[in-house]
Structure 1
Amino acid sequence: MLGDKLKNYLHLHLLVFIAGFTAILGKLITISAIPLVWFRMLIAGVLMLVFIKLSKIRLKITLKTFFKFALAGIIVALHWITFFGAIDVSNVSITLVMFSTGAFFASFIEPIVYKRKIVWYEIIFGIIVIMGVSIILNTEFKYINGILLGMSSAFLSALFSVLNGKFVERHNAATISFYEFICGVAFISIYLAFSADGFMKEDFFNLTQKDWIYLFILASVCTAYAFIASTHIMRYISPYTVVLTYNLEIIYGIVLALILFPIDEKMSAGFYYGSLLVIATVLANGILKNRRKRKSLSGIDIS
């Protein structure tokens, strides 16, 4: 019988696999990025509300807090739109590698939000990441739109994560996510109400059976379940281990894409060299951050 610690580690890797599978679903779903994100946030918001009611979690917040959550909801909506948009105009591999640069956007956003100084190695790592992206850009310039959208998605994801890090200090994570989802839906709905490809389109809700199935999996397993399960995992596994392990999302996603879409996902050698440089730097950054945090807690100044 598996021990509890091993079960939690296996569960964590399942969640990382699910995160990597999100990009695959974005490739499989035939509707464009904006309606896709609208359906995802709507279904996930309903499922999250059910979870909140069953768990008897308090939903009451102040108007000021609501506006803060609304802003974060708009940011995460734009993050997902640019993420799936990058897949539409390039492929899964390009999108995931560009998305991994979010850790370095966070390194420059965090000092502003938390009012701390930038660490010297974060600047060096940022330069190395730029070098890796440059190699990819030079060898895969035909995917320039996907590269730009992927990096935009990474920036928005980093901004959203930093803001949420402030929110969870005072509010329940499920409550935060619920308001972010519904505000994201409201934001996208304004666009869809006036867009020719939005609600005015006769077949907007007339999706194929496969699209409905993939959307439900995306909203339930990859969004609502992944959130609830990751919150549970954090009780038994250190946040550092969780964050570092989630970097494998890129590898899982690219391997899955190569298996499922071998023609679309076959890239040049330069792409893999650049990707290796980016991914290795992301992992090194996580390791050094954890080391710095441990020394800081031990009272050692390593600034």
Structure 2
Amino acid sequence: MLGDKLKNYAHLHLLVFIAGFTAILGKLITIKAIPLVWFRMLIAGLLMFGFIKIYKIKLKIPLKTFIKFGIAGIVVALHWITFFGAIDVSNVSITLVMFSTGAFFASFIEPIVYRRKIIWYEIIFGIIVIIGVSIIINTEFQYINGIILGVISAFLSSLFAVINGKFVENHNASTISFYEFICGVVFISIYLAFAADGFLQEDFFFLSTNDWIYISILASVCTAYAFIGSVHIMRYISPYTVVLTYNLEIVYGIVLAIILFPIDEKMSPGFYYGSVLVVATVVANGILKNKRKRKSAKGIEVS
């Protein structure tokens, strides 16, 4: 029993490590963010389709539902484009820290979607996060474009997570992801069909061997497998533990970046002060939310 528990925790940390490694691949892949996301979503969508067929998961959905999944697919496509775009114009460290602010966007998006009141400490934490980001901006202003793209990516990620949270209440997670990936591909394809740096380029599909390898890893291990694995792990580990552990994605990613790209990832002390402030606030937010949920659950049990 203990062995199974340790195995599941090890699997969880592997998934978090893979999440952190996604940013490293974004740095290693030489093509621009938009075609990169197009290849990622296309390959991941095909892999997800194979998974659905093997396990005979239902794909048929109403048109109205398909449209909703399609909109979500566009949101996740834009999230990934801004995420990898942030890496292109700044570095992995900046992008990951900005991405971590997504938890606080979710704190303000959730009340709108789920029609609940904003919790008082979420406002305070939001202010602290803004202070942390301000410190980073003041000390690393040369990366302002990456900071802006990273924050936009975090917002889109939070919006996508909240939307998906509503979807999974009534639909299979694999079906949702498949349609989101495919709709994202179609959305980006419309742009690439007319863009000078899109399908009109003769060498669009002629990538270097390294790029094909990295994109394949990104689409298979860091997207399709990571998604299926995260769904699987939720059966054995509490959602709170999973969400809290995923905050280590930032730590894993930055440590890997410093090891692999020591020159590009060398930052000022102010960056790390601001980063610690942001990450610590995200973790504190997760802990308080878990306590609040436990109290609510006890209240329901008593009644």
Give the TM-score taking structure 1 as reference length: 0.98
Give the match for residue 197 of structure 1: 197
* 1:202 CA drift (Å): 0.5
Q: Structure 2 matches for 1:118-133, cutoff 5 A?
A: 118-133=118-133
C-alpha distance in 1 between matches for 2:4 and 2:294? 25
Q: Structure 2 matches for 1:203-214, cutoff 5 A?
A: 203-214=203-214
Code of the residue aligned with 2:221 in structure 1: it is: V
Structure 2 residue 94 is matched with structure 1 residue 104: no
Percent identity at matched positions? 84
* 1:2 CA drift (Å): 6.9
Q: Structure 2 matches for 1:46-195, cutoff 5 A?
A: 46-195=46-195
Code of the residue aligned with 1:266 in structure 2: it is: K
Structure 2 residue 296 is matched with structure 1 residue 296: yes
In the TM superposition, what whole-angstrom CA distance separates every residue of 1:171-227 from its partner, at most 9, and x where no partner exists? 000000000000000000000000000000010000000000000000000000000
Code of the residue aligned with 1:149 in structure 2: it is: L
Give the match for residue 272 of structure 2: 272
Code of the residue aligned with 2:166 in structure 1: it is: K
Q: CA RMSD in A?
A: 0.9
Code of the residue aligned with 1:263 in structure 2: it is: I
Query: What stretches of structure 1 of length at least 5 have no aligned partner?
Result: none
C-alpha distance in 1 between matches for 2:127 and 2:231? 33
The DSSP-based 3-state class of the residue aligned with 1:235 is: coil
The DSSP-based 3-state class of the residue aligned with 1:171 is: coil
Give the match for residue 286 of structure 2: 286
* 1:7 CA drift (Å): 0.1
In the TM superposition, what whole-angstrom CA distance separates every residue of 1:206-255 from its partner, at most 9, and x where no partner exists? 00000000000000000000001111100000000000000000000000
Give the match for residue 245 of structure 2: 245
Code of the residue aligned with 2:177 in structure 1: it is: S
Code of the residue aligned with 1:244 in structure 2: it is: L
The DSSP-based 3-state class of the residue aligned with 1:299 is: helix
C-alpha distance in 2 between matches for 1:217 and 1:55? 23
Off by >4 Å, runs of 4+ in structure 1: none
Give the match for residue 27 of structure 1: 27
Aligned residue pairs total 300
C-alpha distance in 2 between matches for 1:38 and 1:50? 19
C-alpha distance in 2 between matches for 1:2 and 1:105? 37
Give the match for residue 38 of structure 1: 38
C-alpha distance in 1 between matches for 2:28 and 2:54? 32
Give the match for residue 5 of structure 1: 5
Query: What stretches of structure 2 of length at least 5 have no aligned partner?
Result: none
* 1:298 CA drift (Å): 1.0
C-alpha distance in 2 between matches for 1:263 and 1:13? 27
* 1:299 CA drift (Å): 1.1
C-alpha distance in 1 between matches for 2:133 and 2:78? 22
